Amino acid sequence: MNKYANQIIAAAAILLCFWYLPAPGAAESAKELYFQAEACSRKLQDSKKKQKYRANWMVCIEKSQGVYRQDPQGPWAAAGLFMTGSLYRDLYKRSGNPDDNREATQNRPPVSDQYHRAEACYRQLLNNPVQQKYRDRWLPCIKKFEAAYQTNPSDAWASASLYMAGFLYFELYKRSYSQADRQSAVKHFTHVVRQYPKSVYREKARRAIEAIKRDDDLLAVIQEAEKSNEEAEDTEALSTEDSGAEAG
């Protein structure tokens, strides 16, 4: 009797395990959902025929919205939100529907908010040396900075966002030794130099490009540049005070 009872209990336990197992695809991560949405968007952009039909746009939009719904506070949420806004914006260009334009605007947080979220992502990564070893921990932070820039390139926070994307790519390169990461860093810094001639980040980006070409420690170069700027400002302030004293 005990033998049969044990068999029944074991069978019941197995059934319970299968009962509570998630359905295939149900436990997909926000990262996986993001790349699915990105693939959908690329296929749509490559097919002018598909772009004519609203249903095709909504399929990709639903996928990008799923990224945010899966983990609203996660590292891929902002990127998913940005993709949703971009898809609605492109759809609006074809549909002329005011609702699509409103959705495009609502799914794009202010650049400053996006920048601070990206910065928080980076700071969290800095506090975890183990996670710094993995490429997929860097990419969400990079994409957050890129998304902030792309939201409005003329915004006051845009140059900082683009610069930080380049900086993180170079930090990733120091760990991955991937020339693609190095080139991405140079590309972002070059855009800052060319696109924002009056920004304080222009000089930082220029110095960064030189440091990369020399294979210098980029962070050390930046810190030295900031120190030089502070010393120059202090010297200028002292000079102004001396002139004021003589005039008095």
Domain residue extents for the chain: 33-108, 135-220
Distance of CA 90 to the CA centre of its chain: 20
134: phi then psi, degrees, rounded to nearest 5:
-110, 130
Closest residue by Cα to residue 163 from 145, 150, 177, 176: 145
Q: Rounded distance, CA 79 to CA 67, Å?
A: 8
CB 144 within 8 A of CB 114: yes
Report the 10 Å Cβ neighbour count for 232: 10
In angstroms, the CA 26 to CA 37 distance is: 16
pLDDT tens digit at each of 248 positions of the chain: 455 555 544 444 443 443 333 333 434 788 899 999 999 999 998 999 999 999 999 999 999 999 989 988 777 887 788 789 889 989 999 999 999 988 887 777 778 888 988 999 999 999 999 999 999 999 999 999 998 998 889 988 999 999 999 999 999 999 999 999 999 999 999 999 999 999 999 999 999 999 998 875 565 555 555 555 455 444 444 444 444 444 33
Count the neighbouring beta carbons within 10 Å of the beta carbon of residue 191.
Answer: 18
DSSP characters over 173-197: HHHH--HHHHHHHHHHHHHHHHH-T
Which token pair is 236? 């200028």
> What does the alpha-carbon distance between residue 195 and residue 179 come to, in Å, rounded to a whole number?
24
d(C-alpha 134, C-alpha 123), whole Å: 15
